[in-house]
Structure 1
Amino acid sequence: MNAYYQAGVALFRRSLALARAEIATLAILLVIAGGSWTFVELAEEVREGSTAAFDRAIILALRNPANLSDPLGPRWFEEMMRDVTALGSTFFITLSAVLVVVYLLMIRKRGAALMVLFSVAGGTLLSFSLKRVFERSRPDLVPHGAEVYTASFPSGHATLSAVTFLTLGVLLTRLEPKRRLKVFFLAVSVGLTLIVGGSRIYLGVHWPTDILAGWALGSAWAMFVWLVALWLQRRGEVEQSVDADVDDGDAPARR
C-alpha cells in the first residue's frame, strides 16, 4: 500500500511540474507576442506622427512652465535622475553582463553564461540597428539633462535595461528555490527597468514613445532568449536550474 502511495505522490509531483512548465512557457510566449505587437504598433504610429501630441504633453508636464530648462522637483532629485539613468548606459550594462558571465563560468553554469551573453549582445545589436532604421530626432522641446549621441527611437537605455535586468532577474528566479526571493528578484528587475526608462523622459533626452518601444522590444527579446534556453534545457543541452519552490527555511538549492 505504501509503495502505491509513494508512486501516486511521485506521479502527482511530475504532473504538477509539467503543468507549471507549460504555464510558464505560455506566459513567456504571451510576453513575446505582446512586446513585439506593441513595438510594431508604436513604430507605425511614430512614423505617421500620430504620437506627437502625446509625447509633447508628457515632456512638458515634467517641466516648470515658466522655465522649460528646469525639470519639476528639487535639484537633488534631478541629480539623482542622472545617476539612475547611468544604470542603463552601454558601459554599465556591458560591465554588468561581463561580470555576471565570468561568475557563471566560475560556478560552471556555462549554459546560463551563454544565455546572458547572447541576450545582452543580441539586444544591443538589435537596439542600435533599429535606431539606424528609424533615425528619429531627439526631443527639441527642452534642454537635455544628459549627453546623447544616437537616434531616439527606440530608446537604447530602455531596451538594454529591460534586456539585461529582466534576463538576470529571471535567471536568479531559476537558481533560487525560495518563492519569496523569486518574487523579490523579479520585482527588482522590473523596478530598475522602469526607473531607468522614466529617467530618460525626465531628463528630456527621449520621447515617451521611445521608452515604451524600448521596454516592449527589450522585454520581448529577453523572453525570447529565455524561451530558447528552456527549450535547450529540456533537450538536455544545457544544465538544469532549480525548479522547486520553497517558502521558507534554509534547504539547500539543488544545483
Structure 2
Amino acid sequence: MLQKHPLIRAALERARGELGALAALTVAALGLLVFAEIADEMGEGDSHGFDESILLALRSPADTNDPIGPGWVELGVADITALGGYIVLTLLVSSVVGYLLIRNKWKNALIVAGASISGVFLSEALKVQFGRPRPELVPQLTEVHSLSFPSGHAMLSAVIYLTLGALLARFHERRRERALIMFYAVLVTIMIGASRVYLGVHWPTDVLAGWALGAAWAALWWLVAWRLARSGQKEN
C-alpha cells in the first residue's frame, strides 16, 4: 500500500495536521464571535426575554421550586454539574499533568496546565468585568456565590474536556476512534452547561457564552500544541 510508505505517510500526517489547524482556527474565530455577540446582547438587555422563558420552562408552572421531571433527574443533574466544579476539574487536571510529566510528555503537560489555568483566570476576570448577578427568577437548587457571566462551569468544562479529548484523540489513528473521543468530550461539556440552567444558577446566555469562549480557548491551545509538535523538537 502506498500509504504505508514513510514519505507518503509523513505527507498525509502533515496534511491532516494543517487541516486540523485550519479547523481549530475556525472554531476559535467563531467562538470568539459568538461570545462577543452574546455579551453585546446581554449588555443591552435584549436576551432577557429568552433567558426568562428558558428558566421558567424548566420549572413547574404551579411551583417554581419544583424543576420539571421526576426526583431522580434532579439528583442526576446535581451529579453531572459536579463534573464541572473546581474540585473535580482540579483533581482531573492535576492527575493528567502528573501522568504526562512521569511519561516525559512535558509539552502535552504544558498544554493541559496552560489551557486550564489560563481558562480559570480568564473566566474570573470576565465575571468581574461584566458583573452580572445570578438569576433570581427561580429558586437556585445549589449554593453559589460568584457572579454569573460567563458560566465558569460551561467555559472551563469546554476548555478542559475538549483539550483533553483533542490530546487523547491525537494518539488514535482511526478516524472513528478520534470522532468518538471528541463526541464524548463535547457531550460532557454540553451536559455540564445544561445542568447549570436546570439548577437555576445561570441564565441560558451565561452558559452559551461559556461554551463559545471555552471552545475558542481550547482551540487556541490546540493550535499552540500543533505549533510545538510542528517545531520538530522531541520531548525529553
TM-score tier after normalising by the smaller chain length: over 0.9
* Matched-pair contact (CA < 8 Å) for 2:197–2:203: yes
Deviations 1:216-251 (A, max 9, x none): 1111111101101111111124549xxxxxxxxxxx
1:222, 1:169 → 2: CA distance? 10
Aligned to 2:77: 81
1:11, 1:102 → 2: CA distance? 35
1:172, 1:9 → 2: CA distance? 25
TM-score, length-normalised on structure 1? 0.88
Structure of higher RCO (CA pairs closer than 8 Å, 6+ residues apart): 2
Aligned to 2:186: 190
> In the alignment, is residue 150 of structure 1 matched against residue 146 of structure 2?
yes
Aligned to 2:42: 46
2:83, 2:234 → 1: CA distance? 30
SS in 2 for 1:88: coil
Aligned to 1:175: 171
1:110, 1:104 → 2: CA distance? 7
1:47, 1:185 → 2: CA distance? 36
2:219, 2:235 → 1: CA distance? 18
Aligned to 1:99: 95
Following superposition, which runs of at least 4 residues in structure 1 exceed 6 angstroms of deviation?
none
TM-score, length-normalised on structure 2? 0.95
Q: 1:173 to 1:146 in 2, by over 3 A?
A: same
Give the number of equivalent residue pairs: 236
2:226, 2:233 → 1: CA distance? 10
> In the alignment, is residue 19 of structure 1 matched against residue 15 of structure 2?
yes
AA aligned to 2:200 is G
Aligned to 1:132: 128
SS in 1 for 2:69: coil
* Matched-pair contact (CA < 8 Å) for 2:127–2:149: yes
Larger Rg: 1
> Percent identity at matched positions?
49
**C-alpha RMSD of matched pairs (Å):** 1.9
1:200, 1:95 → 2: CA distance? 21
Q: Which runs of 5+ in 2 are unaligned?
A: none
